[in-house]
Amino acid sequence: MPIQLTIDGKPVSIEDGASLMLAAQQAGVDTPVICYHEATTPNGLCRQCVVEVEGWRVLAPACITSAAEGMVVHTASERVTRARRTILEMLNASMDLSEAPAIQQQMDEYKADRKRFPGAHRRSQPLLDDNPFYVRDYDKCLMCWRCVQACGDDLQFTYALSTGGRGYESHIATFFDAPMTETTCVFCGNCVAVCPTNALVSKTEIFMSRGLDYDAIRREKRKQRRAEKKEFSDD
Ligand code: SF4
Ligand code: FES
């Protein structure tokens, strides 16, 4: 049964239970997102998609808030714009977003001050290169969970990835921080495909950016596999 609401002054009719993000799309408004991906279950983690609902005390994350009869929603009010800008500035202060073009574009659009919070302590973790298929550079990880969900119930049902630590120390991890080759990972590449920041990068992509052709990439990967097998048998 369809419900009626208003988005930025436009009347919208949409199925009961649809998200505000879908309702906004129907009104011709694309909501900016960071953690949301169409292939994974929305969790409402980043809050970049917030909108203002008249009568509500707090801003509503559009990806996980259901549209309701009679709602009056504003997607570009001063309060919404300021919230989105601040989220971008805080993210930029705490991690490496240099290889996240969609987020960089949002920073330009929302006029985010890239130098705000100069004293912020950036999260830093060692780069993990422990398998022939992809590297994990968690300095670039914004904890959107997309990779964990793609590895688990949303796509692959492999459960090699999980979260570890708490608060400031929370991070994406394998069980007991085991190297990827010692987990249930089947190297499907789904986690790499959904990562928004290039924290996960396929080695083929890295080799190609260095100008290697497919034969050279195959040779390079064979060499790495041999080295890993030797390291394993030496242990
Ligand atoms: S590694 Fe990428 S996909 Fe996984 S949580 Fe971090 S940013 Fe998100
Ligand atoms: S995109 Fe909606 S909370 Fe992240």
Ordered per-residue pLDDT tens for the chain, 235 residues: 899 999 999 999 999 999 999 999 999 999 999 999 999 999 999 999 999 999 999 999 999 999 999 999 999 999 999 999 999 999 999 999 999 999 999 999 999 999 999 989 888 888 999 998 999 999 999 999 999 999 999 999 999 999 988 888 899 999 999 999 999 999 999 999 999 999 999 988 887 777 777 777 777 777 777 776 676 666 6
Ligand 2 environment, Cβ below 6 A: 33-36, 44-49, 61, 63
Domain 1-122 falls in which CATH fold?
Answer: Ubiquitin-like (UB roll) (3.10.20)
* C-alpha of residue 113 to centroid of ligand 1, in Å: 24
Helix (H, G, I), strand (E, B) or coil at 62: coil
Core vs surface per residue 59-96: b (16+ CB within 10 A) or e? bbbbbbbebeeebebbbeeeebeebbbbbbbebbbebb
Q: Whose CA is nearest to atom 2 of ligand 1?
A: 195
Q: Report the residue among 19, 30, 33, 80 best suited for mutation to probe ligand 2: largest number of ligand atoms under 8 A from its CB.
A: 33
132 near 232, Cβ under 8 Å? Answer: no
* C-alpha of residue 120 to centroid of ligand 2, in Å: 23
pLDDT of residue 179: 94
Tell me the pLDDT of the chain averaged across its residues.
92
Nearest Cα neighbor of 32 from 60, 8, 62, 12 is: 62
Residues of the chain with CATH 3.30.70.20: 134-234
Phi, psi of 12 (to 5 degrees): -130, 140
* C-alpha of residue 45 to centroid of ligand 2, in Å: 6
Shortest-distance atom of ligand 2 to CA 49: 2
Residues of the chain with CATH 3.10.20.740: 1-122
148 near 195, Cβ under 8 Å? Answer: no
Cross-sheet strand order for the sheet of 2-7? 10-15, 2-7, 72-74, 50-53, 60-61
Ligand 1 environment, Cβ below 6 A: 141-147, 172, 194-197, 199-200
Query: Under CATH, to which class is 134-234 assigned?
Result: alpha beta
Give the β-pairing of 10-15 and 2-7: antiparallel
pLDDT of residue 79: 98
